[in-house]
Structure 1
Amino acid sequence: MAVDRRNNFDFIRLILASGVIISHSFPLTGKKELLLHYSHDQIDLGRFAVECFFAMSGYLIFQSLERSKTILSYLWKRILRLFPALVVLLLFTMLILPFVYEGRNIFDEKSYWSYFPNVLSLYRVQYNVDGVFTHNPYPGAINGSLWSLSYEFSLYLFLLLLFPFKKRSGFVKAVLILTFTVSYLLLQFKPLFLSFLFDQFLLTSQLSYKLASFFVAGSILSFLNFKKFNTLFVRMSLSCILITSIFFNLYEAITPLALPILIIMLSKLNTSPVNLIGKVIGDISYGVYIYGFFIQQLLMYFFNLNTILLMITGLFVTYILAFLSWRYIESPSLKFKNLF
């Protein structure tokens, strides 16, 4: 089945990844994000972006599952999309850290040598190396964005369980709807249910239920024909529902139901010229997401910027690195996606 690239997915993912950098600019300069303040701590731009990412990922990865001929093929494509860029990021990080180390000898620090394998494992993400960024306004954290990768990879594995049944669409739909319903209800009423089990994988139950709700909602939406109801009226109505839910302190309850539909609708549109962003500069959103926090911490270490300057310079430098990552690491790696 051919993949139709005439849509807004690449553009919206880039906007969302940029939103994460904008959101991080506040705590990294010791400030509280404006959206978090005005929503009474219900939502910030970074959290909103991640929720959208997971809905879009569920939609696209489920379609990848359907196109994959074997389990190995599906897993191989997921590994190629996540790990080559992550490995290069970690090597880049390991090379830079000695220049921002404030102790005697970073090569004597156990936390320096454990950083690479822990982060690469996805499930033992290490945020600090002793003696690094200790005097930044947001002290210690090297790359706070990498927390979400373990949750995303776990949901890739969940979809893998459906592989033997993918030709039985009715059964798959029922499983996805049941999974969404259970995740949503647990998130709303029992967010700590089975928390001891999630703790074994260094995950939290609440985040697992939340992100599963968005991801599985996206997978369910892959069964729908959006041409029938993807209208301006419907999109505006969903936007109003989400905005209104903030004023009534119902955002956590409403967003898993409404946001996935809205973001997939917007992504499915074919809006010129933003639909060409992938062709012009490539799909750099993953690079923007994984490089942004580290670059911003470096900028704060060397220049101690204010919030606005950190946003602007952080986006500029990260875009360059993300473009290089796509051009020389991610895109070449994806040429091997049909190896299995």
Structure 2
Amino acid sequence: MSLLRGPDYPYRTNSLNMFRLILAAAVLFAHSFYIVGAGEGPHLHGENVGGWAVAGFFVISGFLITRSRLRSDPGTYLLHRVARIFPAFIVCLVVTAFVFAPIAALVERGSLTGFFTTPVTPFQYVWTNITLYIDSYTIGQTLDTVPYPGAWNGSLWTLFYEFLCYVVIWVLGGIAAFRKGPLLAAVVFVASVLIWIAIPLAQRVGLDESFYLAAKLIPYFLGGSLVFFVVDRFGMSRWVGIASLIAALALIVLVPRWGGQAAAPFIAYGVLWLSTVVPQPRWVAENDVSYGFYIYAWPVQQLVVLFGGAALGLIPYMGVAAVATFALAWASWVVVERRAMRLARPQASTPRRPPQAAPGGAPAV
């Protein structure tokens, strides 16, 4: 039994910020192939690297958000979740519509004639997407000359499902049986995997795409949630961590379509264990730029292509896009995200806890 137990999870000294940043970089890597017109890039069971990175985001988020829910009253929990997601998201929409898109219009057409009146107008782009459910990807006639035309941000769609998972945990957190231990969390997780396994049957009679995507992503989040209860009760075991990574890899590789969802608890435990043994730079520990990196990567990649960056070659192109995205992500963290979270958590300023001590939402593709 001692092999299954370990020390408490180090919420203040883990390297989850670094792992989430690595996952965000993996999304940029995967999207680069599409955006420059270089094919689809590496895939496994029909899912590209970015899709698997999203799974990583969701399992980490499920773990952290469950802890947040159990440590907060319902109102405070929702306030924190809104503060973590919406301010930076809305700023990204505005910057894309009124900074990036005009630049693209000037580069492609030499003027802003018709920019503010041709649907989808920049105002419509912001307004129709402001709820997190992405209805509009285009802005006027911009990005007509790039290999992946019209799409200003193909990453933001996952945020709707991320927030949907927040709501699921908000509801579950009000149930006494959920708060007491892992049993209900396990039942809900297994049910979510079974729903995903049964999706092909539902598709035969017609299935809304949003339900399909929710069914695909929610098991990852619930797998991370289940692991919170396991870690809270038994701590982090090195041997369980290693075994979890092996089990996750086996399920993902050997079981097409639903192996990743079934592996969610193993992915969560394995990544959490790695975050206790792999150190991260101090700057990364103090600045959680992964969310900003995620939401700005796609529009930056499109602009780099527009300015001829794809001619550098795929790897140099990725490097240029990553550096520019990182700069915007840091600005988003300093100017928007950190301030919004401080407003939502006024008690955190005296004394302020390290960022990794306060669970936050992970970005998603």
Is the pair's TM-score, using the shorter chain for normalization, greater than 0.5?
A: yes
Q: 1:65 to 1:126 in 2, by over 3 A?
A: same
Q: Which residue of 1 aligns with 2:289?
A: 284
Q: Which residue of 1 aligns with 2:304?
A: 299
Q: 1:192 to 1:114 in 2, by over 3 A?
A: farther
Q: Does structure 2 conserve the Cα–Cα contact (< 8 Å) formed by 1:193 and 1:205?
A: no
2:127 to 117, 126, 137: 117
Within 1, Cα distance between the matches of 2:222 and 2:206? 20
Within 1, Cα distance between the matches of 2:244 and 2:218? 21
2:320 to 313, 328, 332: 313
Q: Does structure 2 conserve the Cα–Cα contact (< 8 Å) formed by 1:180 and 1:217?
A: yes
Q: Does structure 2 conserve the Cα–Cα contact (< 8 Å) formed by 1:134 and 1:140?
A: yes
State the Cα deviation string for residues 138-176 of structure 1 (Å, max 9, x = none). 111100000101111111111121233257634x74443
How far residue 296 of structure 1 moved from its aligned partner, in angstroms, is: 0.1
1:97 to 101, 108, 111: 101
1:270 aligns with 2:276: yes
Q: Which residue of 2 aligns with 1:252?
A: 257
Q: Which residue of 2 aligns with 1:323?
A: 330
Q: 1:129 to 1:168 in 2, by over 3 A?
A: closer
Q: Does structure 1 conserve the Cα–Cα contact (< 8 Å) formed by 2:248 and 2:260?
A: yes
1:74 aligns with 2:56: no
Q: Which residue of 2 aligns with 1:29?
A: 36
Within 1, Cα distance between the matches of 2:301 and 2:183? 43
Q: Which residue of 2 aligns with 1:48?
A: 52
How far residue 42 of structure 1 moved from its aligned partner, in angstroms, is: 2.9
| SS of equivalent residue, structure 2 residue 174 | helix
Question: What RMSD, in angstroms, separates the aligned Cα atoms of the two structures?
Answer: 2.8
| SS of equivalent residue, structure 1 residue 106 | coil
Q: Which residue of 1 aligns with 2:174?
A: 164
More displaced, 75-84 or 99-108? 99-108
State the Cα deviation string for residues 54-90 of structure 1 (Å, max 9, x = none). 1111111111111112x22111100100111112212
| SS of equivalent residue, structure 1 residue 329 | helix
Within 2, Cα distance between the matches of 1:8 and 1:198? 39
Q: Does structure 2 conserve the Cα–Cα contact (< 8 Å) formed by 1:10 and 1:277?
A: no
Within 1, Cα distance between the matches of 2:205 and 2:167? 20
Within 1, Cα distance between the matches of 2:296 and 2:119? 23
Within 1, Cα distance between the matches of 2:342 and 2:204? 40
How far residue 272 of structure 1 moved from its aligned partner, in angstroms, is: 5.6
Within 2, Cα distance between the matches of 1:152 and 1:162? 15
How far residue 278 of structure 1 moved from its aligned partner, in angstroms, is: 3.6
Q: 1:17 to 1:259 in 2, by over 3 A?
A: same
More displaced, 120-129 or 102-111? 102-111
Identify unmatched segments of 5+ residues in structure 1.
Answer: none
How far residue 229 of structure 1 moved from its aligned partner, in angstroms, is: 6.0
State the Cα deviation string for residues 253-312 of structure 1 (Å, max 9, x = none). 3222324423443334333641635434x0000000000000000111111413212210
Within 2, Cα distance between the matches of 1:68 and 1:98? 42
Q: Which residue of 2 aligns with 1:187?
A: 196
How far residue 331 of structure 1 moved from its aligned partner, in angstroms, is: 0.7
Q: Does structure 2 conserve the Cα–Cα contact (< 8 Å) formed by 1:8 and 1:270?
A: yes
1:12 aligns with 2:32: no
Q: Does structure 1 conserve the Cα–Cα contact (< 8 Å) formed by 2:223 and 2:268?
A: no
Q: Which residue of 1 aligns with 2:160?
A: 150
Identify unmatched segments of 5+ residues in structure 2.
Answer: 1-8, 348-365
Q: Which residue of 1 aligns with 2:186?
A: 177
State the Cα deviation string for residues 148-207 of structure 1 (Å, max 9, x = none). 01111111111121233257634x7444323222221121123464999984xxx52222
Within 2, Cα distance between the matches of 1:180 and 1:273? 30
Give percent identity, aligned residues only: 29
Q: Does structure 2 conserve the Cα–Cα contact (< 8 Å) formed by 1:66 and 1:166?
A: no
Q: 1:238 to 1:254 in 2, by over 3 A?
A: farther
